[in-house]
Amino acid sequence: MLIGLFAHLSTFIFVTRAEEQILKDFGKRLRSIRLRKNFTQEKLAFTIGMEISQISRIERGIINTSLLNIIKIAETLEVLPGELFGERT
């Protein structure tokens, strides 16, 4: 069902060094949580319905992923989204 939602297709943008570091830190946390939960990138991608390459790019900090993807990843790994942001939960 088409819902008139603004969402996104990918292209290149400028990001600051600080933003680049934020994305890299987020990606590192995702990777460590994923490994702790014994998920391969493939299993996580398949479960969510994402491309493996997308999970890989998020973990390498070269994707500014979306709200919905963050929630799907957190739900699949059975953690609160806050943990992906580095919060003690």
Give whichever of 1 and 38 is closer to a second copy, judged by the CB atom. 1
Q: How far is the CB of 70 from a second copy (least distance, A)?
A: 6
Q: Are 15 and 63 in contact (CB under 8 A)?
A: no
Q: How far is the CB of 80 from a second copy (least distance, A)?
A: 5
Other Cβ atoms closer than 10 A to 65: 20
Q: Are 56 and 41 in contact (CB under 8 A)?
A: yes
Q: How far is the CB of 76 from a second copy (least distance, A)?
A: 14
- Residue 74, SS3 per DSSP: helix
| Torsion sign across C-alpha atoms 3, 6, 63, 89 | negative
List interacting residues with a second copy (CB under 8 A).
1-17, 19-20, 22-23, 26, 57, 62-68, 70-71, 74, 80-83, 85, 87, 89
Give whichever of 16 and 38 is closer to a second copy, judged by the CB atom. 16
Stated length of the chain: 89
Q: How far is the CB of 53 from a second copy (least distance, A)?
A: 10
